[in-house]
Structure 1
Amino acid sequence: MNDSRSRWRFGASRRANPTTPGRLRRMRWLLTALFTALTAACLLVLATVAASIDSHSRERALDDGVDRVVTGLARVVYWNADGTIDLETLREDDLAQGNSAVAVMVRGTDGRWREGYGHLRSTLPADLTAPSEETAAAEDTVFSTMGNSAGQRIRVAAAPVYDNDAAISAVVFAGSDPAPSQRDHRSLVLALEFGGLALIALAAVIGHLLSGVSTRPAVRMLAEQERFLADASHELRTPLATLRLYLDAALRDPQDSRRAVTEARSLTDRMGRLVTGLLARTRTETGLGELDSERLHLDQLVEGVVAECGVAGIELRTEPTVVQADPDLLALAVRNLIDNALVHGGTPVEITVAEHAVTVRDHGPGLDPDLADPFAHGSTGAGGRHGIGLSLVQWVARAHSGSVALGSAPDGGTIATLTLPAPPQL
């Protein structure tokens, strides 16, 4: 019962705490959302400012139009010597016959306002008496929005006209329908709305792509690290289990302790090399360490690695060649190639050193022809699981700007070639 509860708690913890790549993917969506929200806020502010500016600009344009009409017509209103008004010049003026509605209200001797002239009169309000009084009282041009007999809202300007006695005895009205301008403004607002939505959608797509580009290397690296650590745990688990078997055998049979200790030492050396490679790769890829590169004789380094192996059946042919490399990492790569050949092909193993390259050939079953990437962590060839050794070899080669290649030998077996660039000339 307790075990099932522990398993349930472990599973719940796994679901509650996603893997690092999963958290990075969630961070990508969060960055996309923030980028989209910021873009939407900026577009909203810009659209609001643009709509407000357009609205005020259209209102000013409308007022300027009717103001130009009433100002121009007020200048052509004359008074006769007997105090009567002369509107003949006004009637002949182009402004009085244009697209703007025009009306002239005249104050009689009894103080009442009467209409003296009208053009497109139905467009203006039917009764202009009160607006005339307001304009006369203001003694200046008055702008207002009024309703006409058809129920339409009209923008109206009213300018006072002084008679010969310097009294306001007439008022010139000009009106313009704001509906066309308002329709254009609504069209602009709709264009801003739909254009803003399209831009927000585009920003979301671009933000998602940009966040993906920025987080993809980290996601790929972390996913690679997780697979790498999983394979490393597998590689360490197997020799540890074997080491436990040797030690148990030595405890059961003291006479077999020498062989068990020898095998245990071999296994610990193998695990030590594996851990060294893992730590070196991790420190280098995270920027915590650098390659200790130096000029060295590749043939002498390989001879030393073969001597450390102490395995019969290794045929070594060398030619003097110099490379620029980290000696510890290069020795680790060569040892992994030899170990891989011994594990999957047994002896004999043929090693050739020449022209800045190390070639290791075994006589095992060879590579699986269906294997896409023999360097992938945990890939399985014809001879079984390759493990993490070849992956470390590939990393060492790339860290030194070199390459490693695997191929099948014509008469059976596998050929692995580690190639390094020539050292710089002194």
Structure 2
Amino acid sequence: MLISLSFSAMIYRGATFELNRIERIQRVRLSFPPRPGIEPEIVEETKRRIALALASLNLIILGVSGAAGYFLAGKTLKPISEMLENQKKFVSDASHELRTPLTSLKSEIEVNLRDKNLDLRGAKKVLASNLEEVNNLQNLSDKLIKLTRYPKGGNNFLPIKISLSVIAKEATSKVSSLAESKKIEITNKIRNITLEGEKESLVELFVIFLDNAIKYSPRGGNIELTAVKTDSRAVISFVDHGLGIDKEDIPHIFDRF
């Protein structure tokens, strides 16, 4: 806008200078026979029109540049705003996840501290429960660290060729006790499909899906693992007979929490 105003001032000054120069020349020629010239009123009217045209032009430029600036600023700030919003949500959700085991741990300790009849056996039971909550906190903190590293490419994992059947077998073994507690049978139909990846991350991903399927499946249910290779991809399916996902929650399936 400053540049536009500067150019307008230069144009106005140049135009009015020429008009004033013509007027001065005509004053000098007063001793000569009168010649047709420019009336002073016409000169002033021309100056006024030039100033009005330049002012209108600057207002148009101001409006267009303001609208363009607003649009471009919105486009530029939108990803930053979304990133900050996601960061706030992540911190809020992480705090909530950490608060749950901490609240349970604190409540259990406070209750047992007020128990005057607490014996050695009861104290050991409390300590075992506390240790379990501490392990949960440690696992949660490890997962949070992984969540912050994955988007930044902070993992120096070297992909290796690995069989999906091996991944499925290890993941099924990790959740077997949870499945047995609900009398749930896990059927692994994944056979010899080889891909390139990082073993620990793939096993952890399988465990997350299986753990979720077990939690939301009815007692005595069945979970089926299948995989189909298509070109350079492997499509893996975890089929359970649980409650399913509400339609309003489907867009948030890949959210962190």
- Equivalent residue number for residue 225 of structure 2: 352
The 3-state SS of whatever aligns with 2:244 is coil
The structure whose RCO (Cα within 8 Å, separation 6+) is larger is: 2
Question: Partner amino acid for 1:315?
Answer: I
Contact 2:174 2:207 in 1 (8 A): no
Pick the structure with greater CA Rg.
Answer: 1
Deviation of 1:217 after TM superposition, in Å, equals 0.6
Structure 2 CA distance, aligned partners of 1:198 and 1:269?
A: 66
Deviation of 1:190 after TM superposition, in Å, equals 0.9
- Equivalent residue number for residue 52 of structure 1: 13
Mapped pair 1:261 → 2:104: no
Deviation of 1:352 after TM superposition, in Å, equals 0.6
Mapped pair 1:302 → 2:175: no
TM-score by length of 2: 0.74
Superimposed CA distance per residue, residues 90-118 of structure 1 (whole angstroms, 9 cap, x where no aligned partner): xxxxxxxxxxxxxxxxxxxxxxxxxxxxx
TM-score by length of 1: 0.48
Percentage of matched positions with identical amino acids: 19
Question: Partner amino acid for 2:141?
Answer: V
Question: Partner amino acid for 1:352?
Answer: L
Superimposed CA distance per residue, residues 225-261 of structure 1 (whole angstroms, 9 cap, x where no aligned partner): 1112211221222233334566678884654646973
- Equivalent residue number for residue 255 of structure 2: 391
Show the 5 A alignment for 1:209-220: 209-220=71-82
- Equivalent residue number for residue 231 of structure 1: 93
For structure 2, which runs of at least 5 residues remain unmatched after alignment?
A: 229-233
The 3-state SS of whatever aligns with 1:176 is coil
The 3-state SS of whatever aligns with 1:158 is helix
Alignment match of 2:215 (pick from 343, 367, 372): 343
Question: Partner amino acid for 1:391?
Answer: D
For the structure 1 residues 370 and 235, does the alpha-carbon distance in structure 2 shift closer, same or farther, using more than 3 Å as the test? same
Question: Partner amino acid for 1:55?
Answer: T
For the structure 1 residues 157 and 329, does the alpha-carbon distance in structure 2 shift closer, same or farther, using more than 3 Å as the test? farther
Contact 2:165 2:193 in 1 (8 A): yes
Superimposed CA distance per residue, residues 140-187 of structure 1 (whole angstroms, 9 cap, x where no aligned partner): xxx45xxxxxxxxxx434287xxxxxxxxxx44434314334323322
Structure 1 CA distance, aligned partners of 2:192 and 2:240?
A: 23
Tell me the matched-pair count. 238
- Equivalent residue number for residue 86 of structure 1: none
Alignment match of 1:204 (pick from 60, 63, 66): 66
Question: Partner amino acid for 1:275?
Answer: S
Deviation of 1:309 after TM superposition, in Å, equals 2.8
The 3-state SS of whatever aligns with 2:148 is helix
For the structure 1 residues 290 and 216, does the alpha-carbon distance in structure 2 shift closer, same or farther, using more than 3 Å as the test? farther
Show the 5 A alignment for 1:14-413: 39=1, 41-60=2-21, 62=22, 143=24, 155-158=26-29, 171-174=32-35, 175-244=37-106, 252=118, 254-255=120-121, 257=124, 261=128, 264-265=131-132, 267-285=133-151, 287=152, 289-290=154-155, 292-295=157-160, 296-311=162-177, 312=180, 313-317=184-188, 318-345=190-217, 347=219, 348=221, 350-355=223-228, 356-371=234-249, 373-375=251-253, 391-392=255-256
Contact 1:243 1:264 in 2 (8 A): no
Question: Aligned Cα RMSD in Å?
Answer: 3.4
For the structure 1 residues 197 and 337, does the alpha-carbon distance in structure 2 shift closer, same or farther, using more than 3 Å as the test? same
Structure 2 CA distance, aligned partners of 1:192 and 1:314?
A: 82
Deviation of 1:194 after TM superposition, in Å, equals 2.0
Superimposed CA distance per residue, residues 315-363 of structure 1 (whole angstroms, 9 cap, x where no aligned partner): 1312222333343433333222223223333554514141224333343
For structure 1, which runs of at least 5 residues remain unmatched after alignment?
A: 1-38, 64-142, 145-154, 161-170, 376-389, 394-426
Deviation of 1:189 after TM superposition, in Å, equals 1.3
Tell me which protein shows more helix as a share of its residues. 2
Question: Partner amino acid for 2:187?
Answer: L
